[in-house]
Structures are given as C-alpha cells and as structure tokens.
C-alpha cells in the first residue's frame, strides 16, 4: 500500500491534459534524435524506490506514444501508460502532450501536485522545455513560477512554486547503474522549489505562518540516448516543514525518498 509520502513523491509532478482545440495551427513533428516521438513508440521501465529507512519497493512502467492530440490548437504527441505509473518520469508524461519545436521537446498540460490528501494541486504548464539538443553545459532551458491557494482539511494553504529545467551535459558514452551502456546521451535536470504558508487567526488577528520554507523538494535527472529516448532517471524528493506550536497540519512533517528508473525494453522509430 502506498504511503502519503510515496503518493507525494510519485504523483507530485504527474501531468494531465487540460485543454484541446479543433484548430490545427501547428505541428508536433514526429521525431527528435534523443526522444523519438513517432506514434507507436514505447518504453518499459523498471522502477526502484528507497525511503528514508532504507526500505525498497519496486514496480514497472510502460509508456507509449498514442497518436496526436491538439492542445491550444497545436498538434502534440499524446503520451500514455498502460497503468497508473510508479516512476516520476512516466508519471510526468502520462496523458500529457509533447511536441518537437526546432531542437527542443516541449511539454504542455497541467501538473497535478498530489500531497497524498486526495485533493491535487493543479499547475498549468505550456511549452515547458524538457530536452534541448546541442545546448550548452548547465544551460537553463525553462522556468515557470507562480502562486496558488487551496484549503486542505480546514487549513488554507498558499503555495509559491518555481519549476525549472536544465541541460546538464552531453556524454559520448553513459553507463547506467544497472550496467547497460548507451551512446550519445543528453543529461538533463528538473527542479521544483516550493514554499507553503498558511494564514491563521491568532488572538483575533490574521497571522501568516510559513509552513514550508522555500526549498527544492524535487530534483530529478534524466538521461536521453540518441535514437532511443530516456534510458535512466534518478530522482530525489525531500522536504521538511516548519515546526508550528499548536498547529498540526495534514501533511507529513518531513519526507525523504530516492527513485531510479531503468529502461528495459523499447521501440523507437
């Protein structure tokens, strides 16, 4: 059975399509060197999760390209999974639209942040770059930021977020921790920084309290191999809430988890 923190870590960046249009005014393109997006392509991944106590759970994901979908009038490739995914990467792409724009791959949809409370926090994403070929080392690819509010178990919570993606480096050869060797690999990074506050009535006056000081709660590295796609992901999820005397929030006070996703089988045309 998944714990609240496991839900937090797996679903924090799960993506669902939020809007479609009948006007096709753009093109997704069918292929890109390091992430082939031809319809019918698929990838299966072995997923390993390790919690703060050293406990390990495993799972398996199957991700595939299921034809075209229109988002805001632009053609994207629709990414689907055979079942609810275990891994961060497949959760990110599930029911999402990807499109090739020049030498970049962009994602559009709505990021659904699930803290294990049954009520997701939705963040709209448009043309967020997840991969860029021929980028410079440590080049920032995309950033989005904003705020949103939601009441959870009677507590009004305000979320301030910054989501960024980076090109880390290009590798002529990469050996995955499972021993598989891949050629011409692009290594990227996605970072989610989050701050949470709540406003409480204390002594008859509204007081804003910081629940979660700004911190990187997710850092995920993806490795994309030429003519194959994503071959290995290493994700770390960690956070620690502020201590608030007399206030018990419906969120675990802290959490730490690491996850690895290893490519098993694939079809990439």
Note the pLDDT tens digit of each residue in 161-219. 999 999 999 999 999 999 999 999 999 999 999 999 988 887 888 989 998 999 998 99
pLDDT at 148 over 80: yes
Nearest to 5 by CA among 39, 41, 48, 51: 51
As given in the structure block, the two tokens for residue 191 are 């970072």
- Pick the residue with more confidence: 173 or 244? 173
What are the start-end ranges of the H helices in the chain? 4-11, 88-93
| Cβ neighbours around 108 below 10 Å, total | 22
pLDDT band of residue 58 (cuts 50, 70, 90) is very high
Nearest-angstrom CA–CA distance, 201 and 248 = 15
Instruction: Dump strand ranges (E) for the chain.
Output: 14-16, 42-51, 56-71, 74-81, 96-101, 104-113, 121-132, 139-152, 155-175, 181-202, 205-225, 229-240, 254-267
Is there a contact between 193 and 162 (Cβ–Cβ < 8 Å)? yes
Q: What is the mean pLDDT of residues 101-123?
A: 73
Per-residue confidence (pLDDT) for residue 119, from 0 to 100: 58
- Pick the residue with more confidence: 133 or 24? 133
pLDDT band of residue 225 (cuts 50, 70, 90) is very high
Nearest-angstrom CA–CA distance, 9 and 236 = 9
pLDDT band of residue 112 (cuts 50, 70, 90) is low
């Amino acid at each position: 059975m998944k714990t609240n923190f496991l839900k937090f870590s797996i679903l924090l960046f799960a993506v669902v399509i939020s809007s479609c249009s009948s006007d096709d005014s753009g093109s997704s393109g069918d292929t890109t060197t390091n992430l082939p997006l031809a319809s019918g392509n698929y990838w299966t991944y072995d997923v390993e999760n390790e919690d703060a106590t050293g406990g390990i759970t495993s799972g398996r994901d199957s991700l595939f390209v299921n034809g075209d979908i229109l988002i805001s009038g632009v053609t994207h490739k629709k990414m689907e999974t055979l079942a609810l995914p275990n891994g961060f990467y497949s959760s990110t792409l599930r029911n999402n639209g990807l499109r090739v724009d020049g030498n970049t791959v962009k994602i559009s949809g709505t990021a659904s942040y699930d803290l294990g409370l049954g009520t997701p926090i939705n963040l709209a994403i448009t043309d967020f770059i997840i991969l860029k070929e021929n980028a410079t080392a440590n080049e920032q690819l995309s950033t989005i930021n904003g705020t949103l509010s939601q009441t959870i178990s009677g507590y009004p919570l305000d979320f301030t977020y910054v989501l960024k993606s980076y090109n880390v480096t290009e590798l002529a050869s990469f050996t995955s921790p499972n021993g598989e060797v891949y050629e011409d690999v692009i290594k990227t990074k996605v970072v989610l920084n989050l701050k949470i506050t709540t406003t409480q009535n204390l002594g008859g006056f509204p007081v804003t309290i910081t629940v979660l000081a700004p911190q990187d709660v997710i850092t995920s590295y993806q490795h994309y191999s030429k003519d194959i796609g994503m071959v290995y992901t290493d994700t770390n999820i960690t956070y620690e809430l502020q201590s608030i005397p007399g206030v018990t929030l419906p969120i675990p006070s802290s959490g730490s988890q690491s996850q690895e996703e290893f490519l098993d089988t694939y079809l990439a045309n």
